[in-house]
């Protein structure tokens, strides 16, 4: 018997299909899974594996339906729940993804892959503390696991725990020195405007392992430019241009950063460093606001630093319109509000509905605001409603001000139009071309 022409029982067909599947021959594997299902319509393994193949092809709605059928037929297989969790995560259905991974772990507490998957989905859902716990649980089972250490490093970096992130990445690389992505992540975690060489060395190592890492090439080009190595930077930019789809916009954005920096403008590499700098510079007495709360990651950090009440505005239904290749509704939490500390007040609804009411009831200037609106129209609404409250001393941090494919048409454009209309003068306190932020101070 050969994999291409199975004979005999369903088990023979399943073994042949798995050989095709493991070899990446998905078409052949799927044909055999379907053949099994013709003979045994509720065959759980065939349903599960056909769903897994659909997931590998990017057909995640179909994958979810097939694996759900497999679970309906046999609920006790942890792999079914773990893979369904991966499919839900790919669909952005994070609560269901989390529940699926947790079900897999109830069935098999030492299921290493489910711990890793749970860490990934907690991170995607913005619950960094839970993600850290999941990766640490995986490491308690297998202390020297490169995947768990790499995942832990990524979430620690996102949480602003730079030193711990660097340590995790370095441990991962001791186990898997050829992991180009982890070298690149280490490089970004090491980014420090006062000493750029460690970041450059890590990015160079990433590119030695995988020369096709286009964003690593671009970031290394920016570092070489900052180091005054113009010739090396231009070669790297030219290399990135060949493989980076949004290169023109990213290079335009980088050129803007270079042109607009003054001697006091910081160049940072971490979301929370930018927020901290902005809050420290916001000496005015007034309102502290955030627009675009989603899972509450940044507002919890702001609340811990601000020393006063913080007001967060979000529809919790996602973006009201398409943004680039992202459809309307992307970034929704399904209406669920995040857990926040006692000094945070959440205002759920569209900005045009909630913000005018808030502004009438809460007088005084804006001390600090974090604008994570993404799109032009939402940013424009915020700036128009608050234009009389944005005064000399107000600090604004924009979260997608630079380094997106359409950066000149979104938050950046809305602010430039508002500044021209109101006659605001301002200076840039910081840029982060890695996290796409800009922090600015209204000067007059």
Q: What is the CATH number of the domain that holds 89?
A: 1.25.40.10
Of the residues 196, 214, 244, which one is the last residue of a structural domain? 244
| Structural domain of 240 | 177-244
Whether 231 and 277 share a structural domain = no
Q: Do 417 and 282 have their domain in common?
A: yes
Name the residue with tokens 């020297």. 144
Distance between CA atoms of residues 393 and 281, nearest Å:
8
Q: What are φ and ψ of residue 77, in 5° steps?
A: -95, 115
Total number of domains constituting the chain? 3
Per-residue HEC secondary structure of the chain comes to: CECCECCCCHHHHHHHHHHHHHCCCHHHHHHHHHHHHHHCCCCHHHHHHHHHHHHHCCCHHHHHHHHHHHHHHCCCCHHHHHHHHHHHHHCCCHHHHHHHHHHHHHHCCCCHHHHHHHHHHHHHCCCHHHHHHHHHHHHHHCCCCHHHHHHHHHHHHHCCCHHHHHHHHHHHHHHCCCCHHHHHHHHHHCCCCCCCHHHHHHHHHHHHHCCCCHHHHHHHHHHHHHCCCHHHHHHHHHHHHHHCCCHHHHHHHHHHHHHHCCCCCEECCCHHHHHHHHHHHCCCCCEEEEECCCCCHHHHHHHHHHCCCEEEEECCCCCCCCECCECCCCCCCCCCCCCCCCCEEEEECCHHHHHHHHHHHCCCCEEEEEECCCCHHHHHHHHHHCCCCCCCCCEEEECCCCCCCCHHHCHHHHHHHHHHHHCCCEEEEEEECCCCEEEEEECC
Residue 162 lies inside a defined structural domain of this protein: no
- 186 and 308 together in one domain: no
> Residue 431 belongs to a domain with what CATH number?
3.40.50.150
- From the CB of residue 361, how many other CB atoms can be counted at a distance below 10 Å? 7
Residues paired with residue 439 on neighbouring β-strands, in sequence order: 397, 430
Whether residue 21 is found in the same domain as residue 66: yes
209 and 341 housed in the same domain: no
In a domain, 150, yes or no: no
The reported pTM is 0.90
Sort 45 into a burial class: Cβ within 10 Å, 0-12 / 13-18 / 19+.
buried
The tens-digit pLDDT sequence of the chain (444 residues) is 344 444 567 888 999 999 999 999 999 999 999 999 999 999 999 999 999 999 999 999 999 999 999 999 999 999 999 999 999 999 989 999 999 999 999 999 999 999 999 999 999 988 899 999 999 999 999 999 999 999 999 999 999 899 999 999 999 999 999 999 999 999 999 999 999 999 999 999 999 999 999 999 999 999 999 999 999 999 999 999 999 999 999 999 999 999 999 999 999 999 999 999 999 999 999 999 999 998 899 999 999 999 999 999 999 887 677 667 667 665 777 788 999 999 999 999 999 999 999 999 999 999 999 999 989 999 999 999 999 999 999 999 999 999 999 999 999 999 999 999 999 999 999 999 999 999 999 999
pLDDT of 369: 98
Q: Which residues of 125-136 are buried (b: 16+ CB within 10 A; e: fewer)?
A: bbbbebbbbbbe
42 lies in a domain?
A: yes
Instruction: Tell whether 222 and 272 lie within a shared domain.
Output: no
Regarding whether 238 and 273 lie in a shared domain, the answer is: no
Residue 153 lies in a domain: no
In a domain, 238, yes or no: yes
Model pLDDT, residue 1: 36
Where is the domain boundary, 136, 153, 186?
Answer: 136
Tell me whether residue 309 is in a domain: yes
In a domain, 396, yes or no: yes
Is residue 225 a part of any domain in this protein? yes
Kindly state whether residues 390 and 429 are assigned to the same domain.
yes
Q: Two tokens at 9? A: 């029982």
Do residues 15 and 121 both lie within one domain? yes
pLDDT for residue 333: 73
285 and 239 in a common domain: no
283 contacts 444 by C-beta, under 8 angstroms? no
Q: Which pLDDT belongs to residue 2?
A: 40
Q: Are residues 240 and 273 in the same domain?
A: no
d(CA 372, CA 359): 19
Of 197, 212, 244, the residue at which a domain comes to its end is 244
- Assigned token pair, 52: 């897994």
Residue holding tokens 């057909």? 59
Asked if 47 and 187 sit in the same domain, the reply is: no
pLDDT value, residue 325: 66
């Amino acid at each position: 018997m050969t994999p291409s022409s199975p004979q005999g029982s369903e088990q023979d067909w399943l073994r042949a299909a798995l050989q095709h599947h493991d070899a990446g021959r998905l078409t052949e594997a799927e044909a055999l899974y379907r053949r099994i299902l013709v003979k045994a319509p509720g065959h759980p393994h065939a349903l599960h594996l056909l769903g897994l193949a659909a997931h590998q092809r990017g057909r995640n709605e179909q994958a979810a339906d097939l694996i759900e059928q497999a679970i309906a037929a046999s609920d006790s297989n942890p792999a079914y729940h773990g893979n369904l969790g991966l499919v839900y995560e790919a669909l952005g259905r994070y609560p269901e993804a989390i529940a699926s991974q947790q079900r897999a772990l109830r069935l098999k507490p030492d299921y290493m892959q489910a711990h890793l998957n749970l860490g990934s989905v907690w991170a995607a859902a913005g619950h960094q503390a839970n993600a850290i716990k999941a990766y640490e649980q995986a490491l308690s089972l297998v202390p020297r696991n490169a995947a768990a250490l790499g995942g832990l490093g990524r979430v620690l970096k996102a949480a602003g725990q730079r030193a711990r992130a660097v340590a995790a990445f370095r441990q991962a690389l001791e186990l898997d020195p050829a992991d180009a992505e982890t070298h690149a992540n280490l490089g970004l975690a090491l980014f420090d405007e006062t000493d750029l060489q460690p970041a450059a060395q890590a990015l160079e190592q990433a590119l030695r392992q995988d020369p096709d890492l286009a964003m690593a090439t671009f970031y290394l080009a920016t570092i070489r430019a900052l180091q005054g190595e113009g010739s090396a930077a231009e070669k790297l930019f030219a290399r990135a241009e060949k493989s980076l789809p949004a290169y023109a916009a990213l290079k335009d954005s980088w050129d803007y950063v270079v042109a607009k920096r003054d001697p006091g403008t910081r160049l940072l590499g971490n979301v929370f460093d930018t927020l901290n700098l902005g809050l420290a510079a916001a000496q005015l007495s007034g309102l502290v606001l955030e627009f675009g709360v989603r899972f509450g990651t940044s507002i919890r950090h702001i609340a811990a630093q601000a020393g006063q009440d913080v007001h967060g505005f979000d529809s919790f239904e996602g973006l009201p319109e398409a943004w680039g290749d992202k459809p309307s509704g992307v970034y929704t939490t399904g209406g669920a509000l995040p857990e926040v500390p006692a000094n945070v007040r959440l205002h759920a609804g569209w900005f045009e509905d909630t913000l005018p009411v808030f502004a009438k009831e809460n007088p005084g200037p804006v001390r600090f605001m974090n604008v994570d609106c993404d799109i032009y129209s939402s940013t424009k609404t915020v700036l128009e409603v608050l234009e009389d409250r944005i005064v000399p001393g107000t600090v604004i941090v924009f979260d997608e001000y630079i380094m997106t494919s359409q950066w000149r048409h979104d938050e950046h454009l809305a602010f430039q139009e508002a500044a021209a209309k109101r006659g605001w003068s301002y200076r840039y306190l910081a840029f982060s071309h890695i996290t796409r932020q800009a922090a600015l101070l209204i000067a007059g």
